[in-house]
Each structure stands twice: as structure tokens, then as C-alpha cells.
């Protein structure tokens, strides 16, 4: 998830694909970071739900 000037993203895209196969342009500066934070929050919520389910399964 990348944010910034689109022309600069186009110039750096080849290098970024060496670091990861899914490179997504999100818009202006900061939007890539905001998208990453939202993604991390959703993953954390999913992990909490899984942990709670495991905890209930162990107890009962």
C-alpha cells in the first residue's frame, strides 16, 4: 500500500515489486499508511475473536 505522487510511484513500482508481489497505489501522501493501519486493525480484531473462541473452547 503506497501513498504519494503517482509519477513517483510509477518510477518506484519496479523496485517495490521486488519487496512484495502486491503493490497498490492508494493516492496522496498518507493514504497508504492509513490503509495499512486499517488493515492491521482488522487483522487484530480477527485475532482477538479467534483467541476468545479458543479460550471458550478450552474452558467448556
Domain limits, the chain:
2-59
Q: Which residues of 12-51 are buried (b: 16+ CB within 10 A; e: fewer)?
A: eeeeeeeeeeebeebeeeeebeebeeeeeeeeeeeeeeee
pTM flag (> 0.75): no
> Where in the sequence numbering do the catalytic residues fall?
36
* pLDDT at residue 60 in the model: 86
Q: What percent of the chain has pLDDT over 90?
A: 97
Q: Which parts of the chain sit beneath pLDDT 50?
A: none
* pLDDT at residue 9 in the model: 95
Residue pLDDT, tens place only, 23-39: 999 999 999 999 999 99
* pLDDT at residue 39 in the model: 95
Amino acid at each position: 500500500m503506497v501513498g504519494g505522487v503517482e509519477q513517483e510511484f510509477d518510477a518506484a513500482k519496479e523496485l517495490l515489486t521486488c519487496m512484495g508481489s502486491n503493490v497498490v497505489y492508494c493516492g496522496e501522501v498518507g493514504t497508504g499508511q492509513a490503509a495499512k493501519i486499517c488493515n492491521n486493525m482488522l487483522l487484530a480484531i480477527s485475532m482477538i475473536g479467534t483467541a476468545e473462541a479458543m479460550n471458550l473452547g478450552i474452558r467448556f
